[in-house]
Structure 1
């Protein structure tokens, strides 16, 4: 098996995790560590077998970074130089107390509990623990205890997948992944559950990284839409969307998203730093407004929020500006 809304803004969080389940931390150590003040969790954490990697042992790692004041981005990666990666999982996790964060998958909560030198992954409800096998293969699970390390992960062994997410809606599944290889980023999307033929395409996304993906039935026709959010590499961090629409659950086709920089309705004062999310049945975009003379780090024109609706176009469906709000 494969081991694994709200505007949140901030820095990217990556978790890398080891493929084998580690021994749980003893209760005395947990009690001591849990009594501390809020700690800096933005580190790499690994399973015990990481330290035996040069002897051929499989391993999983968890890399964590901030994604706003109250959230993290968690990315689980594992060894990939010998065989198919053991575990792969990317998620946003939201803070529930000073050192505990949770993400949600299929209505169930996955818990990330941080200590000064370690991280424990579990489910909020112990009866849901079997779901943590979904994100791994070979009988491995995300559940377990991981130790913090100094420095970077072993770049010669780690899985080069930069983003991975599996989504489901209305009986249709979407597997979204991005990998960096030979200094090039690619985006691969394949579906499962379409009646006529499943979609399987790879796109070259030069100068961009995938930061998230969501599904929603934006036009309420009984079939879902997929939205993959990317961001340019560099100080501007210009956002873009790869959007797709399922046609009567039979096939899937791409949706046109008008580039913000080319859209005169909304591009005044636009210099990137935008982000996207689904709000009910609209796609929402938010970005700072720059005035003449503003530096890249200090916009002074406030914030613009743009809502898009999905409409039929001559050649393909497209996202059309529905509403613009500034504050």
Structure 2
């Protein structure tokens, strides 16, 4: 009887160890698979006139985000502006770029990878009654800006300016060694036929 009990206990112990080892191996495989857990980050920023912009970023992966923007305290607008499957947010700020007394929201995004390209998002305040998305032309839409452009941008939000700087690449330059100098672009907010436009109005090369 005692022998049977000992054999039974040994069997149970061996089975338990085998199960634990299997679970640990499964866990290590999942951890090393590179799976990314989606995270949500909320921000809010207030303008000098008391309007509030809330900014929600869902980080789907390390390189892909879903962004939602909503204004608060605007009497004629509370729409949510959704920008899905886009680059992660790098920074954001409010500023009165067109000097009309009402601040806009500006966001810079950066593409992960060797080029680290920057994109801009803008949301205007329409005299604090409503808000709407600003049209921001890409660098590729402007021949002067796109010549020699391969990313590596830096964007600075000052009190009255948005300034983008980036290295200029010549035809045979490698990604790590641009030789064409540095280009600086300043932006202004202008009114177009369908709304506001973030316009590159001053370009200099050094």
TM category, shorter: 0.7 to 0.9
Larger Rg: 2
Q: Does residue 214 of structure 1 match 2:83?
A: no
For structure 1, the residue ranges without an aligned partner over 5 or more in a row are: 1-151
TM-score by length of 2: 0.75
1:66-215 equivalence runs, <5 A: 160-161=39-40, 163-169=41-47, 170-181=49-60, 184-206=64-86, 208-215=87-94
Q: Name the CA distance, whole Å, in 2 between partners of 1:203 and 1:255.
A: 13
Query: What SS class does the counterpart of residue 205 from structure 1 fall into?
Result: strand
1:218-263 Cα offsets, whole Å, 9 max, x none, are 1111211111111123211111111110101011111111100221
Query: What SS class does the counterpart of residue 136 from structure 2 fall into?
Result: coil
1:73-110 Cα offsets, whole Å, 9 max, x none, are xxxxxxxxxxxxxxxxxxxxxxxxxxxxxxxxxxxxxx
Regions of 4+ moved over 6 Å = none
Q: Does residue 289 of structure 1 match 2:168?
A: yes
Q: Does residue 249 of structure 1 match 2:131?
A: no
Cα separation, partners in 2 of 1:205 and 1:214, compared to 1, 3 Å? farther
2:177 aligned residue: 298
TM-score by length of 1: 0.49
Q: Deviation at 1:182?
A: 7.2
Task: Tell me how many residue pairs correspond in the alignment.
Answer: 172
1:263 aligned residue: 142
Would the aligned equivalents of 2:38 and 2:60 in 1 still touch at CA under 8 Å? Answer: no
Q: Does residue 230 of structure 1 match 2:109?
A: yes
1:9-64 Cα offsets, whole Å, 9 max, x none, are xxxxxxxxxxxxxxxxxxxxxxxxxxxxxxxxxxxxxxxxxxxxxxxxxxxxxxxx
Q: Deviation at 1:159?
A: 7.0
Report the aligned-residue RMSD.
2.4
